[in-house]
Amino acid sequence: MHPSRPEKVRFAPSPTGFFHVGSARTILYNWLVARKSGGSLLLRIDDTDAERNREEWVDGIYRAIQWLGLDWDEGPIRQSSRIEQYQSVAFDLLHKGAAYWCDCTREAIEERKAPGTPPGYDGFCRDRGLGQGPGRALRFRVPDGPVIVSDLIRGEVTFPSGSIEDFVLLKSSLAPLYVLANVVDDIDFAITTVLRAEEHLPTTPKAVLIHQALASPIPRFGHLPVLVNEQRRKLSKRRDRVAVEDYRQLGYLPEPMINYLALLGWNPGDDREFFALDELVHAFTLERVGHSPAFFDEQRLLHFNKSYLASLSPAAFATVAHPFVASLIALHAEGEERFVQIAPEVQTRIGTLSELPAMIGFLFHFDPNYQEIVKRLRADDIGYLARVSAALQDLEHFTEEEIETCLRDVAASLATSLRKLQAPIRLAITGAPVGPPLFSSMAILGQDECVTRLDSLYRVASNE
RNA sequence: GGCCCCAUCGUCUAGAGGCCUAGGACACCACCCUCUCAAGGUGGAGACACGGGUUCGAAUCCCGUUGGGGCUGCCA
């Protein structure tokens, strides 16, 4: 069943904003690796930066994961609760000579720099033998020599000697920084594979160096291509609409979201495009993850959402659709019955559930803007309305079939087409030029209400 | 600036030296179907960034150029 050994992976978001689709993809890929290998997923909240974290963002992480239909096997653990452990490892590094205290301010580092030289710390305090004290940060002593990172997705990446500065482990407040905290946790929780976004690739050699200094085994790293916007820039919580919660509210469903995200950066190697989560577990392999940045294309997401909605059973569709029209349904005594009847008719007509109110609202509450509607009427339409109203009043059984037969007869007698005849009727009945199938909508509405609406529009139109 | 990553239709991608007059999907266009709109069906337009190699043969391998991106913080 499991071709490889069980992987212990982790998903480690930092709660500094809305949970966005890039994070969703990262946890998905991690989750798939864990499931496929028979391993487990650790959820870790990287909240070492107290300044930027907010508790509501933490809740947002849990909610989004749950909504996506994913879960975790261990945790959540909070890095903010393990500060002492990170500090203890940092001091261990200090005692091993792999770290040193530094009192350089950012300004001092800048001033020492000759114009034109690249930014970064120059190692000024390396051998000053400073002890711990106020204003002193603990820096890692980066050894000479290149660092080779073996990446699951990109192969070997070499960082030349001298390209990595002596980075900070502990702030002068003794607060640990993320590279340190990450490495300590990855060791303590026995992480076997670190799968994360490509933006972390430049810090990976630092992690490798810390592992080496600690003489601990190095996990396997894999860096996923970043997700970009149409300007080809990394998706940003500030610039782009990317919050998973936004998509939920717009009426996107988790299954197509997962499906789309899975295919953004990964492909099965054949032409298959629709996958359920459990199917992804079987099909997914890291080998088939792409290398280049991928544009998060809402059009394509819409396609998956639309296809998914259409694939649902009528009952399942009604269930997911209901919350988006609940307040409308409540407006009419027969609201629930009407909703159940119309739901199958609109299932293939919407891309997102939020389109529903505008499309079927006329069944529950009718308050048309007659001025706008009249503008859409053509010369013959007013006469059509009167004829149709009269004909409909004589129907014995107000069913979809009878209505259609009746209207075809009217169209024939008026020497016009059903296509042309239905246009003014649709406006009178639904208030809009497009919408669900007209005849079934009318049957749902009932004879009296249809006649009333036809007559109302007729009156308004003929008085002008 | 430095380091790193990336490079096939507008977009997501297939392609692991001959199967490629480069395949699929989204979007787009046309036609069919049709009570509107969808859905469905058929067809169409649309890409190997450029230059050198290697090879009998390159979208596929190597080098360079160009372009894009990421990182460059006592953020993550």
Identity of residue A48: T
pLDDT > 90: percent of chain A: 90
Query: Do A166 and A194 share a structural domain?
Result: yes
**Nucleotides of chain B touched by protein CB (<7 A):** 1-8, 10-15, 23-27, 35-40, 68-76
Query: Do A216 and A102 share a structural domain?
Result: yes
**pLDDT for residue A3 is more than 70:** no
Residues A374-389: tens digit of each pLDDT:
999 998 999 999 999 9
Residues A102-113: tens digit of each pLDDT:
999 988 888 887
A13 domain-assigned: yes
A191 domain-assigned: yes
Domain boundary, last residue among A204, A224, A244: A224
**Total-model pTM:** 0.95
Strand B contact with A45 (CB < 7 A):
no
In order of A54, A233, A243, A304, the CA distances from A240 in angstroms are 20, 10, 9, 20
Rounded average pLDDT over A234-255: 92
On average, the pLDDT of chain A sits at 95
How big, in percent rounded to 5, are the helix, strand and coil portions of chain A?
50, 10, 40
Residue nearest to nucleotide B26 (CA to C1'): A300
Bridge partners of A149, per DSSP, are A157
What pLDDT does residue A239 have?
Answer: 81
A134 domain-assigned: yes
ipTM of the complex: 0.95
- Give me the sheet containing A137-140, strands edge to edge: A99-102, A137-140, A168-170
Domain boundary, last residue among A181, A206, A224: A224
Query: Do A58 and A87 share a structural domain?
Result: no
**pLDDT for residue A425 is more than 60:** yes
Count up the domains in chain A and report the number: 4
Query: Do A154 and A219 share a structural domain?
Result: yes
A2 domain-assigned: no
Strand B contact with A49 (CB < 7 A):
yes
pLDDT band at A237 (very low <50, low <70, confident <90, very high): confident
A79: the nucleotide nearest its CA (via C1') is B76
Query: Do A378 and A263 share a structural domain?
Result: no
Catalytic pick among A171, A234, A237, A420: A237
Query: Do A433 and A402 share a structural domain?
Result: yes
Rounded average pLDDT over A128-147: 95
Rounded average pLDDT over A337-343: 98
A360 domain-assigned: no
**CA atoms of A101 and A140, how far apart (whole Å):** 9
Query: Do A163 and A106 share a structural domain?
Result: yes
Query: Do A393 and A335 share a structural domain?
Result: no
- Which residues, in sequence order, are CB contacts of A347 under 8 Å at separation 6+? A309, A310, A312, A314, A317
A27 domain-assigned: yes
Residue with tokens 């305090």: A125
Query: Do A246 and A142 share a structural domain?
Result: no
Interaxial angle between packed helices A438-445 and A418-430, expressed in degrees from 0 to 180 and rounded to the nearest 10: 40
Query: Do A336 and A236 share a structural domain?
Result: no
**CA atoms of A163 and A145, how far apart (whole Å):** 10
A89 domain-assigned: yes
Identity of residue A238: R
What pLDDT does residue A110 have?
Answer: 83
What pLDDT does residue A2 have?
Answer: 45
Strand B contact with A5 (CB < 7 A):
no
Query: Do A126 and A164 share a structural domain?
Result: yes
**Cis peptide bond N-terminal to A76, omega within 30:** yes
Could you confirm whether A375 is annotated as catalytic?
A: no
**pLDDT for residue A429 is more than 80:** yes
Of A403, A311, A324, A332, the residue nearest A359 (C-alpha) = A324
**pLDDT for residue A115 is more than 70:** no
CB-CB contact of A159 with A31 (8 Å) = no
Q: What is the CATH number of the domain that holds A447?
A: 1.10.10.350
What pLDDT does residue A118 have?
Answer: 66
**pLDDT for residue A158 is more than 80:** yes
Structure tokens at A162: 């001298």
Query: Do A97 and A34 share a structural domain?
Result: no
**CA atoms of A435 and A438, how far apart (whole Å):** 8
Rounded average pLDDT over A125-132: 94
Residues A267-294: tens digit of each pLDDT:
999 999 999 999 999 999 999 999 999 9
- The SS3 of residue A169 is strand
Strands A193-197 and A147-151: unpaired
Q: State the residue range of the domain holding A350.
A: 313-355
Domain boundary, last residue among A224, A243, A264: A224
Residue A55: count other Cβ atoms within 10 Å of its Cβ. Answer: 9
Question: How far, in Å, is the CA of A58 from the C1' of nucleotide B25?
Answer: 36
Strand B contact with A158 (CB < 7 A):
yes
pLDDT > 70: percent of chain A: 98
pLDDT band at A1 (very low <50, low <70, confident <90, very high): very low
Q: What is the CATH number of the domain that holds A103?
A: 3.40.50.620
CB-CB contact of A290 with A265 (8 Å) = yes
A3 domain-assigned: no
Of A417, A426, A419, A421, the residue nearest A445 (C-alpha) = A426
